[in-house]
Amino acid sequence: MEYYQLKLEEKKELSKTEPTPNKMYIRNIEWDMMDKTKFFPLSMLSSFSVRCALYPLTLIKTRLQVQKHNAMYTGMFDAYGKIYKYEGLSGLYRGFWVSSVQLVSGVFYISTYEGVRHLLSAYTDNSRIRALIAGGAASVVGQTIIVPFDVLSQHLMMLGLRTQGGGEAFNPLGIKTSAGRSKFSITVDVVRKIFKVDGLQGYYRGYLASLAAYVPNSALWWGFYHIYQDELFAIMPSWVSTLLIQSTAGTLGGFTTTIITNPLDIVRARLQVQRLESMKTAFKDLWHEEGLRMFTKGLSARLIQSATFSFSIILGYETIKRISVNEEYKQYVKW
């Protein structure tokens, strides 16, 4: 049995000994092995840095998913070029500060994930099953907090969308985007218009679609992460960096999950932004417009975003866990 699956008493006993070349190192640093006063601040800083760097990909992915056919952009690079040309660098960060509230939901997400994994350890030693269930539970908590901010940020993302002629293509709430208006005043206007049209439930438009998209996505991502991690550990030489193996496993998990869940993410985006009435309507419209292309719409941007995001998040997450691990376990942690 591997070290990370040992009972607490066995962990304490091992912590008193010196590591030897043949001793099993910890692969997965568990929740009870970390100093939370280090873990939470570093985790938030890492998450913010990654989201800041990758936000343009999120914006491009959303616009590609919401447009009909290729009405505005023919692909990811075309979208990047046109957004930069018509809206400047700031256009690639529309809605970023609203979206950055995800830092708060991220704390609840990772706390739920690690907490549920820890609780499940009393019932099963199978890390894949624990990760799958904990990933789904964490997503339910995270989405409940973040959906209102997702709705706002996606409206702000789409306000800059231009037609082939350069005119404004998307503004269902009638938001004034004239020159001179601050980002704050535009954001406040979006908040007011949503409340005026839909009331409080408007901020949770597409909530069930978000759960339908992100709960399986989160569960599968963590599940595949552990599957790929185990397989890579089995085939890689012992001298290969554990952190590199985990980051690679996260990237592969992100790729696999993205391909499986892409249509669900498109439906979620359209429900929240195009103000459609139901998931069924969104699926019908998407099938009518795209046919089998619905499975690949916006996929290139999402794959690049997912792979980069997965690699960066796991690299940061596992690094922070190593920095935050309690002193008694440091000798059993391999970088």
- pLDDT tens digits, one per residue of 196-229: 777 777 778 778 777 877 888 888 898 899 899 9
Query: What is the average per-residue pLDDT within 38-53?
Result: 84
CB atoms within 10 A of CB 282: 22
For every residue of 26-95, DSSP letters joined together read: BSS--GGGB-HHHHHHHHHHHHHHHHHHHHHHHHHHHHHHHSSTTSS-SSHHHHHHHHHHHH-GGGGGTT
Q: Where is average pLDDT lowest: 55-59, 68-72, 203-207? A: 68-72
Distance separating alpha carbons of residues 25 and 80, to the nearest angstrom: 44
For the chain, give the mean pLDDT. Answer: 77
Distance separating alpha carbons of residues 228 and 225, to the nearest angstrom: 5
Q: Where is average pLDDT lowest: 1-15, 231-245, 310-324? A: 1-15
Q: Rounded to the nearest 5 degrees, what angle is found at the Cα of 151, between the Cα atoms of 146 and 153?
A: 90
Burial of 269 (0-12, 13-18, 19+ CB in 10 A): buried
CATH among 1.50.40.10, 3.30.565.10, 3.50.50.60, 3.10.150.10 for 29-332? 1.50.40.10
Query: What is the average per-residue pLDDT within 83-112?
Result: 81
Does this model's pTM top 0.85?
no
What is the predicted pLDDT for the residue at 12? Answer: 42
Query: What is the average per-residue pLDDT within 54-70?
Result: 78
pLDDT in tens, 137-193: 998 988 888 888 877 877 777 675 555 555 555 656 666 666 666 677 777 777 787
